[in-house]
Amino acid sequence: MTSAALSPPAVGEPATEPPVALVGEPHARLLAGPPRHLGAEGFESHLERIGPLPLPEDREARRGVRDLLAAAGLRGRGGGEFPLHRKLEAAHGAGGRPIVVANGSEGEPASRKDRTLLELRPHLVLDGVELVAAAVGAPRAVVLIEPGRASAWRAVSRALAERDAARRHRRRDLAAPEVQVVAAPSRYVAGESSAVVEVLESGLALPRRRRVPVAVEGVLGRPTVVSNVETLAHVALVARFGAPWFSSAGSDEVPGSTLVTLGGGAARPGLVAELLRPVPGHRLLSGLAGLAEAPAAVLVGGYGGRWIGGEAFSRTLVGRGMPGPGGRLLSLGCGLVAPLPAEACGLATTHRLLEWLAGESAGQCGPCAFGLPELARRLGDVVAGRRSLGRLRRLSATAVSIKGRGACGHPDGAVALLESALEVFDEDLRRHLAGRPCGRGADAGWFPLGSPPEEIP
DSSP string, 160-197: HHHHHHHHHHHT--TTPPEEEEEEPPS-GGGGSHHHHH
More confident residue, 201 or 14: 201
Max mean pLDDT range (91-105, 165-179, 181-195, 407-421): 91-105
Residues 173 and 288 placed together within one structural domain of the fold:
no
Residues 82 and 220 placed together within one structural domain of the fold:
yes
Rounded Cα distance between 338 and 261, Å, is: 8
In a domain, 106, yes or no: yes
In a domain, 27, yes or no: no
Chain segment 30-77, per-residue pLDDT in tens = 999 999 999 999 999 999 999 999 988 888 989 999 999 999 999 999
- Judged against a pLDDT cut of 60, whether residue 174 lies above it is answered with no
Instruction: Identify the domain boundary among 339, 373, 402.
Output: 339
Mean pLDDT of the chain: 88
Residues 185 and 103 placed together within one structural domain of the fold:
yes
Q: What is the pTM of this model?
A: 0.92
Residues 202 and 69 placed together within one structural domain of the fold:
yes
Give percent of the chain above pLDDT 90. 64
Q: What is the mean pLDDT of residues 210-234?
A: 94
Give the model's pLDDT for residue 326. 72
Residues 363 and 323 placed together within one structural domain of the fold:
no
What is the CATH classification number for the domain harbouring 289? Answer: 3.10.20.600
Residues 202 and 312 placed together within one structural domain of the fold:
no
* pLDDT grade for 325, boundaries at 50, 70 and 90: confident
Q: Give the single-character DSSP code of 34.
A: S
**CA 273 from chain center: how many Å?**
13
In a domain, 10, yes or no: no
Lowest-confidence pick of 16-25, 87-96, 324-333: 324-333
Give the model's pLDDT for residue 9. 41
- Judged against a pLDDT cut of 80, whether residue 405 lies above it is answered with no
What is the CATH classification number for the domain harbouring 380? Answer: 1.20.1440.230
* pLDDT grade for 15, boundaries at 50, 70 and 90: low
Lowest-confidence pick of 147-151, 294-298, 346-350: 147-151
221: left (phi over 0), alpha (psi -120 to 50) or beta: left
- Judged against a pLDDT cut of 90, whether residue 3 lies above it is answered with no
Max mean pLDDT range (79-83, 145-149, 297-301): 297-301
What is the CATH classification number for the domain harbouring 90? Answer: 3.40.50.11540
Rounded Cα distance between 23 and 34, Å, is: 8
Give the model's pLDDT for residue 140. 95
Q: What is the mean pLDDT of residues 109-118?
A: 96
* pLDDT grade for 406, boundaries at 50, 70 and 90: confident
In a domain, 331, yes or no: yes
* pLDDT grade for 157, boundaries at 50, 70 and 90: very high
In a domain, 278, yes or no: yes
Give the model's pLDDT for residue 31. 98
More confident residue, 391 or 396: 396
Beta bridge partners of 51: none
Residues 77 and 223 placed together within one structural domain of the fold:
yes
Give the model's pLDDT for residue 8. 45
- Judged against a pLDDT cut of 60, whether residue 457 lies above it is answered with no
In a domain, 51, yes or no: yes
Chain segment 260-291, per-residue pLDDT in tens = 999 999 999 999 999 999 999 999 999 999 99
| CB-based contact 452:110 (threshold 8 Å) | yes
Give me the number of domains the chain comprises. Answer: 3
Domain that holds residue 320: 258-339
- Judged against a pLDDT cut of 70, whether residue 455 lies above it is answered with no
Residues 127 and 85 placed together within one structural domain of the fold:
yes
Residues 275 and 238 placed together within one structural domain of the fold:
no
Residues 219 and 320 placed together within one structural domain of the fold:
no
* pLDDT grade for 211, boundaries at 50, 70 and 90: confident
Residues 214 and 93 placed together within one structural domain of the fold:
yes
Rounded Cα distance between 414 and 437, Å, is: 23
Instruction: Identify the domain boundary among 339, 373, 400.
Output: 339
In a domain, 22, yes or no: no
φ, ψ of residue 59 to 5 degrees: the values are -60, -40
Residues 408 and 327 placed together within one structural domain of the fold:
no
Instruction: Identify the domain boundary among 217, 247, 277.
Output: 247
In a domain, 19, yes or no: no
